[in-house]
Structure 1
Amino acid sequence: MTQNTDNTQLLEALRSGDANAFERIYLQMGEQLLHYVHSRIQNRAVSEEIIQEIFISLWMRRHDLSIRTALEPYLFSAAKHKILSHIRSEKVRRRYAEHFALFVAQHHANMTADLLDVADLEAVIEERIATLPPKCQQAFRMSRFAHKSIAEIAEEMDISARTVENYITKALKYLREALSRGQWTFVLIGLFLSCF
């Protein structure tokens, strides 16, 4: 009996659910397939997992197998697809890992820099506010630090709401111009210096 005939009979026995036929196929071809996969992947544990997946799939699909060639080319083709799939997924994992590592490194560096910038920014803002006219300073501090509304500031300062708006607009414009000359590029500026 030739090997092809033997494999054809094994395949027929496998289709009928013969566990002994499955075991014989595994014993005949498992080592060759493992050697083939390992030679491409260079990782014994992963190679063994791939071989297990191939044979589990073979057994699970035994009743519906449509193998037009011999069993050996079919199994090696399955191994090739598994290898390519593994390589693709490894590349994706590696790429994401690299991107994540870069993101963490940049985020950590930016966070440290931003903490320093915040302290510097607060000092610069306070210094600039101190150069504004007294009533303009007062209206701005009440708006941005005490979080009071235009109406509340107008009432407390005994001035019109329009005047309060003018004071705050003047202060914001002055601070924007003063800070635009520095390196203040993070979001805090946009929030702090937004309009009413």
Structure 2
Amino acid sequence: MYKHTIDNAICIAFIGGDKKAFESIYCTFSKPLYRRILYLVKDPDDADEVLHNIFIKIWTAREQIDPAKNLFAYFMQAANSMAIDHLRKNLRTQVMHDTIIVSGEEHTARSVEDSYISKEDWKILESAIEQLPPQRRLIFKLCKIEGKSYKEVSESLSISPATISNQLVLAMKFLRQFVKQHHKEILLYCLLFDYMGRK
């Protein structure tokens, strides 16, 4: 199916950590992978970022590669998966940054522009998130920003779903208290977080 192939010896050397083999694979695979990623993400800078991350990820996990299988197919599968993940993350960020419209009768007279959460408000919220304890902050970002399920985060961090739920409750309590000191509109962000990523 794939015409981009390398010598099996190069593949084995790559798995063993040979940097020259890595360079050879990069030269052979990078252009077709980039074309595929660009087709999916539609943005050259994003495509470069995804391509870069693919090679880092596979190099880090190279010992898990089966040298008997088609290496380019392995890279292409990673490209498809990471490009789609990138799109999902961008979409979620875009929604939260630009398309949160205030609802309620008291806001009907406001313009569409005034109904969006501003970038300045998002920076305030980000600063609040960064003040969470490390594990709580990680759980919050994985569940509420990246959209991972409780099960995925539970397996990734080796903690129970109940712990995840408790940590998110504490995180939301802190964020609400923090944003009360700033623009009231940011409270809508916290309300959105309450409903996003519930798994």
TM (normalized to structure 1)? 0.47
Structure having the larger proportion of residues in helix: 1
TM (normalized to structure 2)? 0.47
Ranked by relative contact order (alpha carbons within 8 Å, sequence separation 6 or more), the top structure is 2
